[in-house]
């Protein structure tokens, strides 16, 4: 088999390696004016594949050409922040977005209950003034 496919794969892997380094997973620390340090943390997913064939019709002495291709991709998803203040470290998670209607309802529930509670308290306060 031609050396072209392994060379293509090595080139793709090298390009992915150049795109994704340790700073893609644990980002550079960010200092705020009030002394808080924030460190972003991400999940990195990498995928690649390739294939090819010598197009010489099975004849080893002929140069019939080579056909092939390689592709790859990288996905970086932020998952949390480490917040450091006065020697204390706190992890602040970033929730994944709702992927279904049920997930969205569950996600909205605390805010809805808070608004409902505030509304009812307002109604009770107005009723108390009327009495």
Give the pairing type, strands 88-93 and 37-54.
Answer: unpaired
* pLDDT over 80 at 91, yes or no: yes
Spatial separation of the C-alpha atoms in residues 23 and 101, rounded to whole Å: 35
Of residues 35 and 55, which shows the higher confidence score? 35
Tens digits of residue pLDDT in 26-39: 888 899 999 999 99
HEC secondary structure over the chain: CCCHHHHHHHHHHHHHHHHCCHHHHECCCEECCCCCEEEEEEEEEEEEEEEEEECCCCCCCCCCCEEEEEEEEEEEEEEEEEEEECCEEEEEECCCCCCCHHHHHHHHHHHHHHHHHHHHHHHHHHHHHHC
Bridge partners (DSSP) of residue 79 are none
Q: Model's pTM, two decimal places? A: 0.49
Spatial separation of the C-alpha atoms in residues 5 and 8, rounded to whole Å: 5
């Amino acid at each position: 088999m031609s050396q072209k496919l392994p060379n293509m794969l090595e080139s793709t892997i090298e390009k992915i390696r150049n795109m994704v380094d340790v700073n893609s997973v644990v980002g550079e620390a960010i200092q705020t004016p009030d002394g808080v340090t924030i460190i972003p943390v991400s999940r990195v997913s990498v995928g690649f594949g390739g294939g090819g064939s010598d197009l010489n019709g099975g004849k080893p002495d002929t140069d019939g050409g080579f056909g092939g291709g390689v592709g790859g991709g990288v996905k970086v998803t932020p998952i949390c922040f480490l917040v450091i203040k006065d020697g204390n470290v706190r992890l602040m998670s970033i929730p994944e977005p709702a992927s279904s209607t049920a997930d969205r309802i569950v996600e909205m529930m605390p805010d809805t209950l808070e608004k409902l509670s505030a509304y009812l308290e307002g109604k009770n306060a107005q009723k108390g003034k009327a009495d």
